[in-house]
């Protein structure tokens, strides 16, 4: 996958994009990151890319011409254009999976007070990473790149498959443990060291349901639950009631 990022601050991407799994994935050619600075597409004498808003008001707004020029000069015709904006649709695992199927993504980062309204016409998606306002679209773009690229084939080793991750199957992930078996009086559940793979899988499914029920019951409403899942949830409910008595 080719990922094009349009930004005024390409240097912000250096650390996060050149470390660990994302670095290895790029070294293996699983995705390529292209950082494009709007300033290089400004026709203004001093290469400025922002201006004060018509109608007055605080702050500066990104001008349309440098962003249109940068996107039109670099964006492949196929592939999707994403505009980072707190006013967009909320980013989630489902959208990450959808974007991971594309051959290329182009991500536009706003900055300052935001961008000229006409820039919205460039975008296939307007995406928010949450109901809060950051100074620029660079951190949100990195969140999207991280979540999407780890879904690309080969980025995670087989043993780190995203299939068990929280949200992937509509549920939160089950609790994980590693050595030592006993730590500060806290024990690893017996079943995980039993070597019985069927029992381990059942335990994990049940704990995944328990955790989702406790922390994100809203997710259960939108997940296809099997009869076994429903039986497990009923059992969990009985266990929780018994605890309260
Ligand atoms: C200070 S914000 C501008 C916010 C704008 N005045 C508004 O109220 O919608 C500057 C830029 O940061 C990015 N940004 C800020 N918060 C974001 C969020 N939660 N999700 C995605 N992008 C965000 C957007 O690209 C935005 O144009």
For ligand 1, the distance from its centroid to the CA atom of residue 109, given in whole angstroms, is 8
The minimum-distance atom of ligand 1 relative to the CA of 83 is 25
The minimum-distance atom of ligand 1 relative to the CA of 130 is 19
> What whole-number distance in Å separates Cα of residue 229 and Cα of residue 233?
6
In this prediction, residue 184 carries a pLDDT of 98
Give the list of residues 6+ apart from residue 7 with CB closer than 8 angstroms, or none: 13, 35, 36, 37, 38, 109, 111, 136, 137, 138, 141
Secondary structure tally for the chain: helices H, strands E: 8, 9
- Each of the 245 residues of the chain gets a pLDDT tens digit; together they read 999 999 999 999 999 999 999 999 999 999 999 999 999 999 999 999 999 999 999 999 999 999 999 999 998 778 899 999 999 999 999 999 999 999 999 999 999 999 999 999 999 999 999 999 999 999 999 999 999 999 999 999 865 678 778 888 899 999 999 999 999 999 999 999 999 999 999 999 999 999 999 999 999 999 999 999 999 999 999 999 999 88
150 is a catalytic site residue: yes
Strands 186-187, 182-183: pairing kind:
antiparallel
Tokens of 61: 């707004």
Tokens of 129: 């990473």
Chain segment 127-182, per-residue pLDDT in tens: 999 999 999 999 999 999 999 999 999 999 865 678 778 888 899 999 999 999 99
Query: At what angle are helices 227-244 and 197-215 packed, to 10 degrees?
Result: 70
Residues 102, 126, 146, 165: which is the catalytic one? 165
Predicted structure pTM score: 0.94
Q: What region, left, alpha or beta, does residue 158 occupy, with left being phi > 0 and alpha being psi -120 to 50 degrees? A: alpha
Phi, psi of 44 (to 5 degrees): -70, 150
- Of 64, 48, 109, the C-alpha closest to 82 is 109
229 is a catalytic site residue: no
Domains, the chain: 2-158 (3.40.1280.10), 166-244 (1.10.1270.20)
Query: Which residue's alpha carbon is nearest to atom 15 within ligand 1?
Result: 134
In this prediction, residue 169 carries a pLDDT of 85
Residue list, ligand 1 pocket, CB within 6 Å: 84-87, 109-111, 113-115, 128-130, 132-137, 140
In this prediction, residue 78 carries a pLDDT of 82
Residues 16, 53, 64, 86: which is the catalytic one? 86
Residue 37 three-state SS: strand
How is 99-126 classified by DSSP, letter by letter? HTTSSEEEEEPPBTT-B-GGGGGG-SEE
Residue 81 contacts residue 75 (beta carbons within 8 Å): yes
């Amino acid at each position: 996958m080719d990922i094009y990022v349009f930004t005024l601050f390409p240097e912000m991407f250096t650390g996060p994009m050149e470390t660990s799994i994302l670095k290895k994935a790029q070294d293996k050619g699983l995705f390529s990151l292209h950082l494009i600075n709007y300033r290089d597409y400004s026709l203004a004498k001093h290469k400025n890319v922002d201006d004060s808003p018509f109608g007055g008001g605080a702050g500066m707004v990104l001008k349309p011409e440098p962003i249109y020029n940068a996107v039109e000069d670099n964006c492949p015709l196929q592939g999707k254009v994403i505009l980072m904006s707190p006013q967009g649709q909320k980013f989630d695992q489902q959208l990450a999976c959808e974007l991971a199927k594309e051959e290329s993504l182009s991500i536009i980062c706003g900055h300052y007070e935001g961008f000229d309204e006409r820039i919205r016409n460039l975008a296939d998606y307007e995406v928010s990473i949450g109901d809060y306002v950051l100074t620029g679209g660079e951190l949100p773009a990195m969140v999207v790149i991280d979540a999407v690229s780890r879904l690309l084939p080969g980025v995670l080793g087989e043993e780190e498959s995203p299939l068990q991750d929280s949200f992937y199957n509509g549920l939160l992930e089950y609790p994980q443990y590693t050595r030592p078996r006993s730590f500060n009086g806290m024990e690893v559940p017996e079943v995980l060291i039993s070597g019985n793979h069927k029992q381990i899988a059942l335990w994990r499914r049940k704990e995944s349901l328990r955790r989702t029920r406790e922390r994100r019951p809203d997710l259960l409403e939108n997940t296809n639950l099997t009869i076994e899942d429903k039986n497990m949830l009923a059992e969990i409910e009985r266990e929780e009631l018994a605890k309260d008595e």
